[in-house]
């Protein structure tokens, strides 16, 4: 059974520079917020696809559901 921390670590390892917050109490249903520079300029669908690819073959089976919020970091002007 997967844990929130395991999913967080896998997302951050697969998407360089990503910061992920993952929650889920039952080991099968998870919610994640992922912020990554790599998302800049990508559609929301493309952003989600990058994250879902981390768990290819597991979604719908050992990981029943993964609800995502993705975004690129907010740029600050100097």
Question: Residue 10: in which H helix or E strand, if any?
Answer: helix 4-14
Using pLDDT thresholds of 50, 70 and 90, give the confidence band for residue 2. confident
> Is residue 77 over pLDDT 80?
no
- pTM, rounded to two decimals: 0.89
| pLDDT averaged over every residue in the chain | 92
Strand partners, 65: 29
How many H helices and E strands in the chain? Answer: 2, 3
Domain boundaries, the chain: 4-71
> Is residue 25 over pLDDT 90?
no
Instruction: Kindly list the distances between the CA atom of residue 14 and the CA atoms of 25, 75, 76, in Å, as whole numbers in the listed order.
Output: 23, 23, 26
Question: Pick from 76, 48, 55: which is nearest to 13 by CA?
Answer: 55
Report, in angstroms and rounded to the nearest whole number, the Rg of the chain calculated over CA atoms.
13
Query: For residues 27 and 32, which has the higher predicted lDDT (pLDDT)?
Result: 32
- Tens of pLDDT along 52-65? 999 988 888 888 89
CATH superfamily entry for domain 4-71: BolA-like (3.30.300.90)
């Amino acid at each position: 059974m997967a844990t929130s921390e395991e999913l967080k670590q896998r997302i951050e390892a697969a998407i360089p520079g990503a910061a992920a917050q993952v929650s889920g109490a039952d080991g099968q249903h998870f919610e994640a917020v992922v912020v990554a520079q790599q998302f800049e300029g990508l559609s929301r669908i493309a952003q989600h696809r990058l994250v879902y690819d981390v768990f290819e073959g597991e979604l719908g089976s050992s990981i029943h559901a993964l609800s995502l919020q993705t975004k690129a970091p907010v740029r600050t002007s100097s």
